[in-house]
Structure 1
């Protein structure tokens, strides 16, 4: 659990500043579940340059509560939370100073989004909150006011969690927050999980990830894990201490992240899923008469395939659909081994390429259309899918046929700048598994929005 906050102060000498405004958003890693926003009477003068910067003046604070009047609420909303702020050392020091004046020892774990940004989003011109979030396409209003800056920090931290491929933020937090085991441990973990699409991470007590999975309903999937009585499930039930999760909105994003993170983290109970999820591929060759032939065969990593399939039955099923859709010949797709015309020519569903009635040029036009539709080769495009919230979309970026990564953007802030698009993308590995996942998903979900980008 995180308490993402921003504080405005009076300015002045070190450790003599007073708080003029505070905004705290309690964030569970996915959504804000509580918030506290208030002006505060600092009982000391505001430096003129600070008043000009924030717009907060003494008159505005005359009837505002004093710090001791809101201290209890601040303690409550930040209990069992890691304090997150942009330049956390400053905000955390100010809070500790104010509580110290009341004779209260305020201690929390803290994370700094400046330091995290430098690690996870390197080579930015500036890491000031304003310039950083604008460069990432994150909306920012009421700059230098606690609420505006805290809201922007929430969105920035959400992006940083997505870009934290090593899961160091989550692992450290789990290690900090792990509680003593209780009899109803598994029930507690199920109750805390969302009924949403995403990926989940099972941790043992020291924070180490022991299992990664994806589901369109995380709560339902955890219930299955924790009620199954097979050997693997029982071992997981005994060892798991906590479950963290990442809502993706998009099942495609969840599939890609699951594949990537299993390879990256190598959880002990995911051994079977580290292998490739496909073994059949579609290849092409041109015969002596100039006709492009398509053939299904076992995956050969030395050859370039058009697309891949989970198994041969799935491959043949799609091939039958494509023969009908594109008017292709069964002989030139390997489904008819006869020596004369194919069966489809007999029922007027083949134009006669198999017996030379249709020219290679005419036939190949339709074959190339199929290949262009289902191959990534040299393509520049983005795939848009559901986001984590109703006003958000997920985006998958492919450049020159290479899968670059995933990201999210707000529907109210359309991303039409390729540089901003690249900056919000969490880089991911381009490999045969990722390519298979994307191609397979696109084949089966025809309503996906795909935008082809112009070459730069």
Structure 2
């Protein structure tokens, strides 16, 4: 293996999700063993605008790539350069998937064996504080210049990889990283082993597609490769049939399990895959509604529905909705009879709520009572917080975030750790907008209820000043939103 070719690669991109991330620059250094043989580097016209925050990070703007070759003009060079080589990169799945998607846009399958210098470094140089490229190079005295440009990062990765080769003289570790699980030899008939080999061992979602590339199953996993393989070795007839109908597998890494859950829900809503049973239907929700009765009294009531209607608050369980009604009744001295907590009674006599001030017995005026009801309704609206949940990203130099604005789930995104954010508006350029549904409401509610100390940042009244509260307080306020607040949903 001393004559093995390695292609050390780094790419810069426009940013975006699985289908929108386009190349702006590529650098490939070809090594035979530890010896550098050749280098190829080029700017790439991504055929779309480069966002300003990407330009701020990389220095690559629209003018720089205006006259650069498009990917199809360099695709043959890239394919030939890497044809007999093992694909090497720092956080290899990112660079590999960007290139694979570029080839897919041209109608070609791109498949190479991969090595990740992050994983190799963790194995061969254990115990470092950080394995991000910049900090790792600082730790072991590797010079790195022209940071966040393809050639500068590739040159540093080449030196790092040469160090790793010197620490693995018999290639024992490298061979173990390249080893394909033997049971993959019995994969379903239409799945190539390379498709499985190219899957990451990290959190994200995966899509099984049929011959026509129609999505037939969407799933989420903490380890995508392990979870995908498990489908094909399950003896249940459903899993067998899924394997027989699967021709293609796509995936998107998220780093965060929460983001994976939310993205899975969006894929099921969008594609309605034939093999997914859960989340295909929204399920019943419970809504607090208000109406004026014949006496002119503003009443609150609880409705169960499968369709979203105009309401004061929406809840995914009856218990939560009932709890909220009882809370409002006590907090604002409302009448249990006119909050649908007691029926068929002349005057209220609730077993635990004794705060009624007499609207049911004529001791309180309708006008005064209705003012209290309006205040209760306003209180629910004010609980609809704007906040961000921060999670780990897809690699060491990135953070994931989930944005809820005025009580409504907006979507998720990823931010480079070097980008400064201090206002809710700062998250917008990085946001991948999603549809708020019954299932995203439930996912967020369960997450906030179960997590002991999630990293939540609250923004007050959407002003420019960020009001970051202590974790315990943030968790408590988030739980109020999750259990009692309002989320806008679509079905």
Bin for the TM-score computed over the shorter chain = 0.5 to 0.7
Aligned partner of 2:337 among 327, 331, 339: 331
Spell out the pairing of 1:311-390 with structure 2 (5 A cutoff): 314=317, 316-328=318-330, 330-342=336-348, 344=350, 346-348=351-353, 350-352=355-357, 355=360, 360=369, 361-362=371-372, 364-373=374-383, 381-388=386-393
3-state SS of paired residue (2:263): helix
CA, structure 1 residues 324+192, in 2 after alignment: closer, same or farther (shift >3 Å)?
Answer: farther
> Who is 1:238 aligned against?
244
Write the distance in 1 (CA, Å) between the matches of 2:254 and 2:233: 25
CA, structure 1 residues 85+132, in 2 after alignment: closer, same or farther (shift >3 Å)?
Answer: closer
Write the distance in 2 (CA, Å) between the matches of 1:219 and 1:126: 30
Cα shift readout 1:194-226 (whole Å, capped 9, x = no counterpart): 776432223568876442112456567546633
3-state SS of paired residue (1:395): strand
Spell out the pairing of 1:206-245 with structure 2 (5 A cutoff): 209-215=215-221, 218=224, 221-222=227-228, 225-240=231-246, 243-245=249-251
Write the distance in 1 (CA, Å) between the matches of 2:315 and 2:442: 9
Give the Å deviation of 1:352.
Answer: 4.8
> Who is 2:263 aligned against?
257
Write the distance in 1 (CA, Å) between the matches of 2:274 and 2:241: 11
Write the distance in 1 (CA, Å) between the matches of 2:359 and 2:44: 65
Given that 1:85 and 1:91 are in contact with CA atoms closer than 8 Å, whether structure 2 keeps it comes out as no
Given that 1:114 and 1:127 are in contact with CA atoms closer than 8 Å, whether structure 2 keeps it comes out as no
Q: Does 1:76 align with 2:6?
A: yes
> Who is 1:298 aligned against?
305
Cα shift readout 1:293-328 (whole Å, capped 9, x = no counterpart): 142231444x32344445xxx2x2112332454444
Q: Does 1:130 align with 2:58?
A: yes
CA, structure 1 residues 372+292, in 2 after alignment: closer, same or farther (shift >3 Å)?
Answer: farther
Cα shift readout 1:319-378 (whole Å, capped 9, x = no counterpart): 23324544445434434323144453x4355445663677523454344323432x5xxx
CA, structure 1 residues 115+335, in 2 after alignment: closer, same or farther (shift >3 Å)?
Answer: farther
Q: What root-mean-square deviation, in Å, do the aligned CA atoms of Structure 1 and Structure 2 show?
A: 5.3
Given that 1:284 and 1:306 are in contact with CA atoms closer than 8 Å, whether structure 2 keeps it comes out as yes
> Who is 1:421 aligned against?
427
Cα shift readout 1:31-71 (whole Å, capped 9, x = no counterpart): xxxxxxxxxxxxxxxxxxxxxxxxxxxxxxxxxxxxxxxx9
Q: Does 1:283 align with 2:309?
A: no
Q: Does 1:177 align with 2:108?
A: no
Write the distance in 2 (CA, Å) between the matches of 1:243 and 1:206: 12
Write the distance in 1 (CA, Å) between the matches of 2:403 and 2:306: 25
Write the distance in 2 (CA, Å) between the matches of 1:317 and 1:115: 55
3-state SS of paired residue (1:176): coil
CA, structure 1 residues 177+411, in 2 after alignment: closer, same or farther (shift >3 Å)?
Answer: closer
Write the distance in 1 (CA, Å) between the matches of 2:108 and 2:340: 54
Q: How many residues align?
A: 337
TM, length-normalised to structure 2: 0.51
CA, structure 1 residues 342+226, in 2 after alignment: closer, same or farther (shift >3 Å)?
Answer: farther
CA, structure 1 residues 220+320, in 2 after alignment: closer, same or farther (shift >3 Å)?
Answer: farther
Write the distance in 1 (CA, Å) between the matches of 2:229 and 2:209: 16
Give the Å deviation of 1:268.
Answer: 4.6
Write the distance in 2 (CA, Å) between the matches of 1:416 and 1:433: 30
3-state SS of paired residue (2:428): helix
